[in-house]
Structure 1
């Protein structure tokens, strides 16, 4: 058969879909790796800050206590989303955003607001109250909600109803609560050790 009559599978001027798809996949992989590295770095910084406040033993105990119930709640969210499962990478993004990125920026902004108010009023107690009552709710909830807006406007086709929003919000909140509970459990252990006269463990 004469090759001159064989149709060209890729007409001139038309982009090759396979190459375009390959480039998009490579970009997503690179973007995912970059996000994972940033989340890991910020998460490590948060753990170091908690450890500096509570001590390594308290940090370890708090880490175990905070992480133990997480798989159960993840399974519950996946069960809620069982009829039309969301992409695992989007669920993981929401979780680690809450566990690392949102916690990090909430810590930085809350601390800054507390210091600013304390300096302006020359009263550290007022600064602490402002940070706990006013700054923390606004900053923390905004930091958690940001990833929901990003995912919604970036992957709007994945949001088919209210349940999807609930699942993503649940993953963000679960990640944030896990890291926050590490600090709470660590402080509780630290306080218990001091009350029982084992303060030397708090200074290690």
Structure 2
């Protein structure tokens, strides 16, 4: 229970303290205030979505995706990320998540990726400071910003729905948000690669797009892993409202750290390894590094989901085991 005003605390419920130390909607003005507040929240939510849509158009995402070459290779490049998001979805031992909520989260994450693109561009000058600047850019800008906008895609819509009724649902929607972010990021990289090599015929374009798509296919699953971690803690926060802020912050710190560390190491490890072992192709080193790094944190995500699944099985009654689901009680946060 939250803090109480001293007048309310000492009255012990014996006095009507409406509009003195307590409040509930009684008058017409009170009800109007509730409606104004609700309308402000709705307008604010749709304003954010509209702003993201405008930014998405400005950075050329829609134009890139309508190009048949870019569109096709973008779809191919997210297949590994899609497989990983699919695993998280099927690992949800509670009631399944509706397709329309998953789709909305995916689309919102595509739009909100534009926020990260713009902020990254604004602070990109940090990279001019050399190695220290790169580290600062990854840890203070890229990691926190990208993980925040992916979590926003979950928080703005799916999180508020009644079907978001278990902690593990946060991991599911977080994974889908990561998939959407990877989708739009891959499209931007493939488009940029084609723009940087405009010469040559269709064969050259296909080779360029295919090479970029292959690299992005390795990096894409990372977005799913990072945001699934952050999403899990968002789900934990929903059912622990008294500590919701710190719980969400913990999830974002974990996701941002894993993300920034990947970006930092992937910029260094392959080059150092190739310099030390010049007979090994850089792509092989990159592939092995990504496999080990993302595999390790993917395993930690698997462990976290497995703990929830085991706990879910242990608390079910015999009747619930036969029925296959646990009824979810309405929490104080929901009300």
TM > 0.5 fold call: yes
1:180 is matched with which residue?
Answer: 185
TM-score by length of 2: 0.37
Compared CA separation, residues 126 and 133, structure 1 to 2 (3 A): same
Report if aligned partners of 1:62, 1:184 keep a CA contact under 8 Å in 2. no
What does 1:25-174 align with in structure 2 at a 5 Å threshold? Answer: 38=50, 40-47=53-60, 60-68=68-76, 73=83, 79-81=90-92, 84-101=95-112, 103-115=113-125, 117=126, 123=128, 129=134, 130-132=136-138, 134-151=140-157, 154-155=160-161, 157-174=162-179
State the distance in 2 between where 1:60 and 1:132 align: 32
Report if aligned partners of 1:98, 1:175 keep a CA contact under 8 Å in 2. yes
Report if aligned partners of 1:77, 1:170 keep a CA contact under 8 Å in 2. yes
State the distance in 1 between where 2:191 and 2:93 align: 35
Report if aligned partners of 2:74, 2:183 keep a CA contact under 8 Å in 1. yes
Which deviations, in whole Å up to 9, do the C-alpha atoms of 1:86-129 show, x marking residues without a partner?
2333212210111122x1100111111224x47xxxx5767973
1:198 is matched with which residue?
Answer: 200
Report if aligned partners of 1:111, 1:131 keep a CA contact under 8 Å in 2. no
State the distance in 2 between where 1:96 and 1:88 align: 12
TM-score by length of 1: 0.55
**What is the SS of the residue equivalent to 2:96?**
coil
Q: CA deviation at 1:78?
A: 5.0
Greater helix proportion: 1
Which deviations, in whole Å up to 9, do the C-alpha atoms of 1:15-44 show, x marking residues without a partner?
xxxxxxxxxxxx9xx99xx68x83654433
Q: What is the count of residue pairs matched by the alignment?
A: 156
- CA RMSD, Structure 1 to Structure 2 (Å): 4.2
Compared CA separation, residues 46 and 76, structure 1 to 2 (3 A): farther
**What is the SS of the residue equivalent to 2:123?**
helix
Gaps of 5+ in 2: 1-38, 206-335
Q: CA deviation at 1:150?
A: 3.3
Compared CA separation, residues 88 and 152, structure 1 to 2 (3 A): closer
Compared CA separation, residues 81 and 43, structure 1 to 2 (3 A): farther
Compared CA separation, residues 93 and 137, structure 1 to 2 (3 A): same
Larger RCO (alpha carbons 8 Å, 6+ apart): 1
